[in-house]
Amino acid sequence: MNVSKKLSIALLACAMIALNGSALANTDSKASQQTSSNHTQDENLQQVNINVSTVAQLETLKGVGSHRAKAIVQYRNEIGKYTHIEQLTAVKGIGPKIIEDNKERIIL
């Protein structure tokens, strides 16, 4: 086999190795993104007990930022424990839509 054929085969082998390594790196990256996405989804599915949750935990509810979360805690501290989820509508800024959006996650 002449030198140019050996060189061509060697270059082809290097290219195949490089492409395979690139494909493996992409697979690892996609797997990492999928794991991260699953972790975020798991956090979004965690239940939130409105009678004991912290402001930070309440902020994970859809439509509830720091201001609303603090208002939920303040209401709880002033009035006492919530006896039903619909009581959240007594908190300024919390309406039926927020309760509906989070009905699977809010517990007492």
Q: Does residue 39 sit in the same domain as residue 83?
A: no
Q: Does residue 58 sit in the same domain as residue 34?
A: no
User: Which among 50, 105, 48, 108 has a CA at the least distance from the CA of 77?
Assistant: 50
Q: Does residue 90 sit in the same domain as residue 53?
A: yes
Distances (CA, A) of 46 to 34, 56, 60: 19, 13, 9
Q: Does residue 16 sit in the same domain as residue 61?
A: no
* Spatial separation of the C-alpha atoms in residues 52 and 108, rounded to whole Å: 8
Q: Does residue 25 sit in the same domain as residue 68?
A: no
How many other CB atoms are there within 10 angstroms of residue 94's CB atom?
20
* Spatial separation of the C-alpha atoms in residues 105 and 10, rounded to whole Å: 59
Q: Does residue 41 sit in the same domain as residue 61?
A: no
What residue numbers bound the domain in which 75 lies? 48-107
Dihedral (C-alpha) 69, 70, 76, 81: value to the nearest 10 degrees? 30
pTM: 0.60
Residue-level pLDDT, tens digit, the chain, 108 residues: 676 666 667 666 666 676 666 555 555 556 556 655 544 555 557 999 999 999 999 999 999 999 999 999 999 999 999 999 999 999 999 999 999 999 999 999
How many domains, the chain?
2
